[in-house]
Amino acid sequence: MNTKEQAHFDQLYRLHLRTLKLRGMSDNTIDSYARAVRRVSKHFDCSPDHLTTEQLEDYFSKLVDSHSWSTVKIDRNGLQFFWKYVLKTDWRWVDIIKPPKVSTLPDILTSTEIERMILSTRKLRYRTFLLVTYSMGLRLSEALALQVSDIDAERKQVHIRRGKGHKDRFVPLPDLTYHALQSLWRKHRNPCWLFPSAIGSMETVAKATTHMDRGGAQSAMKAVVAECGIKKSVDSFPSTQLCHSSAGTGFKSSAHSRHIGACQFQND
């Protein structure tokens, strides 16, 4: 893009981000919809509002070959939002690209499999993170966002803020999970985050102003799954699978919790 075209795109892109925020979209949705606009702009080297229907059909035809249908659907929805709320133009996107409807059930990890994963996780922060996510049935983003002030030790519950649907809720805090969090916090002593960014020295971690990296947590857990020889899909791990897995396992009262309790949470 030349200077004038780039300035035009930058203006529309800023408006896109502002509109997403004002319409109450989640951070993940904002990131995904913004990436959709950047991707198509980079592909054609022009602002998206100059594209024709034929160009978009050609673009999505290539996108289907190079990306998953999930990505294609997100990009379609992101561009649909851009056209509708930024360009103020309704476009029949369903005529351009319509991902197939697929009904699948998630791979459910058993209590035994999750026990193996927890016991096989070497680093303290990831071992505790996995235990917290499983034992309380949290999504990945909910566990990462936990703060020290969210823990109610007296009532043995945790305040989950802005979970699914931007709703708060309280969840029970198992004794084992509470003691594991205590051990982890005594190691880093960050005044805000239970899972602070782990980049740098321990002094740096204690002063971190952001939580642990999402991608790093996912990569670590997938590595543990592979090491344990678990063959189930981990594409969405652990945000979906652990929520489903923990729903009916009776973690607090099972023999698995006593076995996991033998795991040493004092050493990293």
- CATH assignment of the domain containing 11: 1.10.150.130
Confidence at 37, pLDDT banded by 50, 70, 90: very high
82, 183: one domain: no
Span 157-187, pLDDT tens digits? 999 987 776 788 999 999 999 999 999 999 9
163, 191: one domain: yes
Which one-letter DSSP state was computed for residue 82?
I
Residue 160 phi, psi dihedral angles, 5° rounding: -90, 120
14, 62: one domain: yes
Q: What pLDDT score was predicted for residue 221?
A: 81
89, 10: one domain: yes
Span 85-140, pLDDT tens digits? 999 988 778 688 887 776 666 667 777 888 888 888 888 899 999 889 888 888 88
197, 249: one domain: yes
Residue 83 phi, psi dihedral angles, 5° rounding: -70, -40
Q: Is residue 101 in a domain?
A: no
Contact by Cβ (8 Å): 37, 48 = yes
pLDDT at 249 over 50: no
User: What residues make up the domain containing 230?
Assistant: 111-261
Residue 123 phi, psi dihedral angles, 5° rounding: -75, 135
Q: In what order do the strands lie in the sheet with 151-152?
A: 151-152, 157-160, 169-172
Q: What pLDDT score was predicted for residue 166?
A: 73
249, 142: one domain: yes
Helix H segments across the chain?
3-22, 27-44, 53-66, 69-81, 93-96, 111-120, 124-136, 140-144, 175-188, 202-206, 214-228, 241-246, 255-261
CA 155 to chain centre: 28
Hey, is 238 helix, strand or coil?
coil
Q: Is residue 168 in a domain?
A: yes
Contact by Cβ (8 Å): 17, 86 = no
Residue 175 phi, psi dihedral angles, 5° rounding: -55, -45
Q: Is residue 55 in a domain?
A: yes
Q: What is the pTM of this model?
A: 0.57
Strand partners, 157: 152, 172
43 vs 267 pLDDT, higher one:
43
Confidence at 76, pLDDT banded by 50, 70, 90: very high
Q: How many residues in the chain?
A: 268
Residue 259 phi, psi dihedral angles, 5° rounding: -65, -45
Looking at 63, 96, 129, which one is the last position of a domain?
96
Nearest Cα neighbor of 138 from 217, 24, 250, 245 is 245
Confidence at 255, pLDDT banded by 50, 70, 90: very low
* CATH number of the domain residue 142 falls in: 1.10.443.10
Nearest Cα neighbor of 117 from 247, 215, 221 is 221
Please enumerate in sequence order all residues whose Cβ is within 8 A of that of 155, keeping only pairs 6 or more positions apart, or say none: none
Q: What pLDDT score was predicted for residue 104?
A: 67
Mean pLDDT, the chain, integer: 83
Please enumerate in sequence order all residues whose Cβ is within 8 A of that of 56, keeping only pairs 6 or more positions apart, or say none: 40, 79, 96
* Alpha-carbon span 260 to 132, nearest angstrom: 12
- Percent of the chain clearing pLDDT 70 (strictly above): 82
Q: What pLDDT score was predicted for residue 243?
A: 46
| Number of structural domains in the chain | 2
Query: Angle between the 214-228 and 124-136 helix axes, to the nearest 10 degrees?
Result: 90
Q: Is residue 102 in a domain?
A: no
* Alpha-carbon span 73 to 70, nearest angstrom: 5
For tokens 């981000």, name the residue.
17
76, 132: one domain: no
Q: What pLDDT score was predicted for residue 119?
A: 85
pLDDT at 257 over 90: no
190, 84: one domain: no
Q: What pLDDT score was predicted for residue 222?
A: 82
Looking at 32, 65, 96, which one is the last position of a domain?
96
